[in-house]
Structure 1
Amino acid sequence: MDTRTLVIASGNPGKVKEFEGLLRDLPLKVQAQPEGLEVEETGSTFSANARIKAIAVAAETGEWALADDSGLSVDALDGAPGVHSARYAPSDPERIARLLRALAVEDNRSARFCAALCVATADGTVLLEVEGHCKGRITRSPRGHQGFGYDPIFEVNGTEKTFAEMSLLEKKAHGHRGRAFTMLEPQLRQLLSQR
């Protein structure tokens, strides 16, 4: 199989690094999207936003692009922050602080992460779309130093660990992005073998 370039449709270095780890066994040259490229996420679902980003970045770079849109939905907040997870506050620490304030007197801490993945080509063709989920609860304070985003306050059901306390391997096994990737990988491998 020839090595194909796959552009990760994200400016988030943590997300690009995570995908590099997930994709390392495939015949791909993984790279981040061009610096300064901003794609407006106008979709009302994670899947719609992933599709918008993958198509835009593939068109811009002339390469296949893999986008994900993921976020945290908290039951006690009627699913918020949801598709606005990344825009809930200006920075990760501020997003965490705002969410913990919103849940300060709330006993129902149940939440779930969702990750929608989309691979698109430069001509706008959507090759693959999958969605993965992970259930857990919001902790009362941050724990751990791995990961990014809401990882320090999301404890995965059945593990007693936050994503920020997990190794990359554990996160791949338990996480929403890892679960979505588990669905995506065999389909992507098959596509690569056909081209």
Structure 2
Amino acid sequence: MFELVFATNNKHKLEEVQAIIGDRFHIKSLSDIGCSDDIPETGVTFEENAQQKTDYLVKRYGLDCFGDDSGLEVTSLGGEPGVYSARYSGTRDMERNIDLLLERLGDTPDRKARFRTVISLYLNGQQYFFEGTIEGHILDARRGDGGFGYDPIFVPDGYDRTFAEMSLEEKNKISHRAVAVEKLAAFLNTL
């Protein structure tokens, strides 16, 4: 069985990725390899942050790995919160991040947004990138208690429910991360 380290200790991300990849690959988390470091994310793009994670693991552990960076981009806010999605309010408190986003949107009629994920894969000395997006819009109040992050206020195009109102299986069929991970898995299956 093929093993890869996923540069995360976020159990929600790990569950989503493992559910998509299934038993085709054994995915290890940072804690599985004894890494409790707070890996820097100082890039100004999703690509830079994803690559920082893989570079960090390769330099310190020498393992084949992948890392991702994801975020919400709201059109009328010029792409905010973007790479700062997890700490938009200056903290990692998602309730405060959502409150700030809703405050900044106010009664703006243009509520178009997209979730975007970029995966950086380091494998056999080579770097690869995979991207996934899903278009949708932002509600003016939270709905649902599943998911994580901005899921309670994001409704994907073609649906009338937020990500937080969907089951993990439903979300995994359409999410930005699912699209990027499917591209990663398809690539890995060619090896």
Normalised to the residue count of structure 2, the TM-score between the two structures is 0.90
**2:150 matched residue in structure 1:** 150
What is the rounded CA distance, in whole Å, between the counterparts of 2:59 and 2:4 in structure 1? Answer: 12
What is the rounded CA distance, in whole Å, between the counterparts of 1:30 and 1:174 in structure 2? Answer: 21
Report the secondary structure of 1:14's partner residue: helix
2:35 paired with 1:21: no
What is the rounded CA distance, in whole Å, between the counterparts of 1:124 and 1:97 in structure 2? Answer: 42
- 1:14-69 CA-partner distances (Å, limit 9, x unpaired): 1111112122231x222211352112112221112111112212333332212111
What is the rounded CA distance, in whole Å, between the counterparts of 1:124 and 1:53 in structure 2? Answer: 15
One-letter amino acid of the structure 2 residue matched with residue 119 of structure 1 = L
Tell me, which stretches of 5 or more residues in structure 1 are unaligned? none
Asked if the contact 1:55–1:124 (Cα under 8 Å) also holds between the matched residues in 2, the reply is no
Report the secondary structure of 2:103's partner residue: helix
Tell me, which stretches of 5 or more residues in structure 2 are unaligned? none
- 1:149-179 CA-partner distances (Å, limit 9, x unpaired): 1111110011111111112222122211111
Asked if the contact 2:74–2:114 (Cα under 8 Å) also holds between the matched residues in 1, the reply is yes
Q: How far has the Cα of 1:137 moved from its partner?
A: 0.5
What is the rounded CA distance, in whole Å, between the counterparts of 2:157 and 2:189 in structure 1? Answer: 30
Listed as ranges, the matches of 1:42-121 within 5 Å are: 42-89=42-89, 90=91, 91-121=93-123
Report the secondary structure of 2:76's partner residue: helix
**2:182 matched residue in structure 1:** 182
- 1:86-142 CA-partner distances (Å, limit 9, x unpaired): 121321111111111111221211101111011114x8631x311111100011111
Q: Aligned pairs, how many?
A: 186
CA RMSD of aligned residues (A): 1.7
Report the secondary structure of 2:152's partner residue: helix
What is the rounded CA distance, in whole Å, between the counterparts of 2:166 and 2:59 in structure 1? Answer: 35
One-letter amino acid of the structure 1 residue matched with residue 96 of structure 2 = E
Please identify runs of 4+ aligned residues in structure 1 that moved more than 6 A: none
What is the rounded CA distance, in whole Å, between the counterparts of 2:59 and 2:151 in structure 1? Answer: 31
Which shifted more, 108-117 or 47-56?
47-56
Aligned with 1:31 (options 13, 28, 53): 28
